[in-house]
């Protein structure tokens, strides 16, 4: 099979290789998927750059979509021919989705509705599941989002664009942080009501101005190193909750007194490591939205497999609006 891989860390142009690798064989409980697309996420390029390798080579990317071509023992033959999207394709394993084939556990290939194309399918594993789990946790912590104000940090990002749509579907009001006018337009197309330009405006002051001084009921957050301070300065209402899936800094100073005296809370989660029950719930809810065609999918750039280095560089540059997808 044709695939892309790296055997040591470094810049994409220096370490990414494209060539032939053996096509995998599905083992007990596995399916073999002929991949049509592979989604490139920020975690993929960070891993290529700096995560130590534990295998001779790594075929990157955890997200993708394609068609099941074969099944291993214990898997229903009825799955052959199903269109599917992939989650955790390269989580704690070397062979990810940046190849024409992947063999992986049956549950990690989720049936895809006919109305969802392969490019959109390649956005479900990390962006889609992170978004839906964020909303599920927000509801778990604060109840029905109907009528609540939710601050979405990075509302135009791949994840934030889906979060914005899902909060709106749940009846919430979205205020979002964005970095440019173009990104504000993109987030507003997903349902965001008000944009806050975090590079030039005080986020806490703007949130207070938009909420009659109260702050947001919920913050769904991609960078806790910044949001910890924003919440303490009034961006989060008393008894409000932060749902967080990332941070630009691994060491975070938490202004403890305002968090304590305003009874604010935070829930962290890692989309790769959901509990089995949470995974089932998130996949089911996301599948329902796909079946009902409730989501917009934004593909910002598409590349051929031979352009894999450029695809990684595009994600690293952070200027593309929408998801980056490799066609296989």
Nearest residue to 110 (alpha-carbon basis) of 302, 290, 318: 290
Looking at residue 272, what is its pLDDT? Answer: 97
Is 278 a domain residue?
A: no
Confidence band, pLDDT 50/70/90 cuts, at residue 154: very high
Is the separation of the CB atoms in 131 and 159 below 8 Å? yes
pLDDT (average), residues 204-208: 98
- In a domain, residue 171? The reply is yes
Q: Is residue 283 part of a domain?
A: no
Residues of 212-240 as b/e, b for ≥16 C-beta within 10 angstroms? eeebbbbbbbbbbebbbbbbbbbbbbeeb
pLDDT band for 197, please (50, 70, 90 cuts): very high
For the chain, percent of residues with pLDDT exceeding 90? 99
Q: What is the CATH number of the domain that holds 80?
A: 3.90.180.10
The domain in which residue 265 lies consists of 126-272
* pLDDT above 70: percentage of residues in the chain: 100
| Average pLDDT value for residue range 266-293 | 98
Residues 131 and 60 occupy one common structural domain: no
How many alpha carbons fall within 13 Å on the CB side of residue 129? 28
pLDDT, residue 166, reads: 98
Same domain, 88 and 99: yes
Together in a domain, 242 and 315: no
Q: Do residues 102 and 233 both lie within one domain? A: no
Is position 43 within any domain? yes
Instruction: Tell me the pLDDT of the chain averaged across its residues.
Output: 97
- Are 314 and 193 in the same domain? no
Q: Does any domain span residue 284? A: no
CB atoms within 10 A of CB 318: 9
> How is 213-250 classified by DSSP, letter by letter?
TS-EEEEEES-HHHHHHHIIIIIEEEEEEEEE---S-S
Note whether 14 and 70 are same-domain residues.
yes
- 118 and 9 in one domain? yes
Q: By C-alpha distance, which of 245, 192, 239 is closest to 218?
A: 239
Mean pLDDT of 11-19: 97
Tell me if 232 is assigned to some domain.
yes
Does 218 fall in a domain?
yes
Same domain, 103 and 189: no
| Residue at 21 is within a domain | yes
Question: Which of 61-65, 164-168, 194-198, 248-252 has the weakest average pLDDT?
Answer: 248-252
Same domain, 266 and 136: yes
Domain identity same for 101 and 32: yes
Q: Does 27 lie in the same domain as 88? A: yes
- 42-48's contacts with Cβ under 8 Å and 24+ in sequence apart are 42/315, 43/126, 44/90, 44/96, 44/312, 44/315, 45/12, 45/312, 45/315, 45/316, 48/6, 48/9, 48/10, 48/12, 48/15, 48/16, 48/312
Please answer whether residues 125 and 62 qualify as being in contact, where contact means their C-beta atoms are separated by less than 8 angstroms: yes
> Do residues 327 and 301 lie in contact, with contact meaning Cβ atoms separated by under 8 Å?
no
Q: How many domains does the chain have?
A: 2
- Assess whether 83 and 192 both reside in one domain: no
Which residues, in sequence order, are bridge partners of residue 99? 3
């Amino acid at each position: 099979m044709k695939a892309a891989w790296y055997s040591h860390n470094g810049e994409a142009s220096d370490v990414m290789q494209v060539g032939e690798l053996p096509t995998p064989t599905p083992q007990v409980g596995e399916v073999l998927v002929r991949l049509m697309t592979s989604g490139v996420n920020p975690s993929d390029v960070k891993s290529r750059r700096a995560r130590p390798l534990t295998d001779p080579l790594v075929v990157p990317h955890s997200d993708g979509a394609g068609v099941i071509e074969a099944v291993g023992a214990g898997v229903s033959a009825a799955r052959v021919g199903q269109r599917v999207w992939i989650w955790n394709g390269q989580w704690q394993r070397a062979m990810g989705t940046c190849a024409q084939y992947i063999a992986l556990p049956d549950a990690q290939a989720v049936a895809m509705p006919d109305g969802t194309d392969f490019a959109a399918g390649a956005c479900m594993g990390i962006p889609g599941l992170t978004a839906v789990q964020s909303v599920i946790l927000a509801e778990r912590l604060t109840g029905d989002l109907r009528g609540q104000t939710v601050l979405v940090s990075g509302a135009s990002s791949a994840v934030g664009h889906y979060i914005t749509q899902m909060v709106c579907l749940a009846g919430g009001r979205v205020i979002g942080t964005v970095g440019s006018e173009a990104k504000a337009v993109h987030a507003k197309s997903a349902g965001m009501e008000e944009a806050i330009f975090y590079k030039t405006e005080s986020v806490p002051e703007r949130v207070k101005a938009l909420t009659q001084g109260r702050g947001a009921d919920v913050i769904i957050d991609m960078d806790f190193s910044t949001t910890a301070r924003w919440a303490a300065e009034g961006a989060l209402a008393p008894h409000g909750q932060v749902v967080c899936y990332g941070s630009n800094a691994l060491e975070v100073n938490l202004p403890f007194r305002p968090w304590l005296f305003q009874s604010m809370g935070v829930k962290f989660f890692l989309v790769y490591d959901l509990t089995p029950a949470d995974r089932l719930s998130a996949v089911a809810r996301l599948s329902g939205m796909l079946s009902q065609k409730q989501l917009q999918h934004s593909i910002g750039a598409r590349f051929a497999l031979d352009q894999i280095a450029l695809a990684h560089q595009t994600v690293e540059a952070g200027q593309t609006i929408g998801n980056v997808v490799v066609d296989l």
